[in-house]
Amino acid sequence: MPAPISIVQTHVHSLRLRNGAEALVARVMTADGVAGFGFSLGPEALPARDMAPARTGPGGATRPPLAAAVGLALATGTFIASYTLWDKYAVATLGTPAVLQGYATFPVMLTAFAPYALGRRAQLAGVWRSCRPQVIGAGLLAPLAYMLVLAALSFTAVSAVAPVREVSVLFGVVLGRRVLGEGGIARKLVAAAAIVAGILAIAFG
């Protein structure tokens, strides 16, 4: 018999879908820092709350080993640095327009994600019906934001542009607290402030 799960935080959020229905999203945090999520399309929060702890137990979400997490973070940073340097070379040295450089990644992303999306057509159709404005907004704003980065890279040092764009982490921390009710805000703000301090040190160093 599995050991009981110790829940230290529970947040339930209500979302109004495009068709007028209400969806509930529950997020729980266990004492050992594992998060679980539950969903309900009815007005009762209990099913969502019940589902969330179940996802933190055996067969649900588990905390990855520290070494694996650090390795994944380093690999992510390496990839980001690599494509940032390539983008700098493309827009500043080769003279590729920022719009073209930004949209050139779309065929690659389409090829990579199409098999996953096509294998979940019913789920994809449900998201499109319920969250169409959000999907369109993200689809427009995300590439436009990076095109601004590309435009800046065309005439500014990459050592200044790359760190400054990470200020988005600060906005993510604040919105995570206000919109998603995430905890640990003090610790996250300290880490975000350290990022901003690093940006200022690079900019004025």
Measured CA to CA, the distance from residue 56 to residue 133 in angstroms comes to 31
Q: Name which of 50, 53, 46, 11 is nearest 32 in CA terms.
A: 53
The per-residue pLDDT for range 69-114, each reduced to its tens digit, is 788 888 988 988 898 899 999 999 999 898 888 888 888 888 988 8
pLDDT band for position 2 (cuts 50, 70, 90): very low
What is the rounded radius of gyration, in angstroms, for the C-alpha atoms of the chain?
21
Q: Model-level pTM? A: 0.59
- pLDDT (tens digit per residue) in 27-51: 666 666 566 666 665 555 555 555 5
Q: How far apart are CA 159 and CA 153, in angstroms?
A: 10
For residue 35, the cross-strand partners are: 29
Residue 177 and residue 188: Cα distance in Å, rounded? 10
Per-residue model confidence as pLDDT tens digits over 112-146: 888 888 888 887 887 788 788 888 988 888 888 88
Is a pLDDT exceeding 80 seen at residue 65? no
For residue 93, with 0-12 CB atoms within 10 Å meaning exposed, 13-18 middle and 19 or more buried, which class applies? exposed
Domain ranges of the chain: 7-54, 66-156, 166-205
- The DSSP string of 116-146 is HHHTTHHHHHHHHHHSHHHHHHHHHHHHHHH
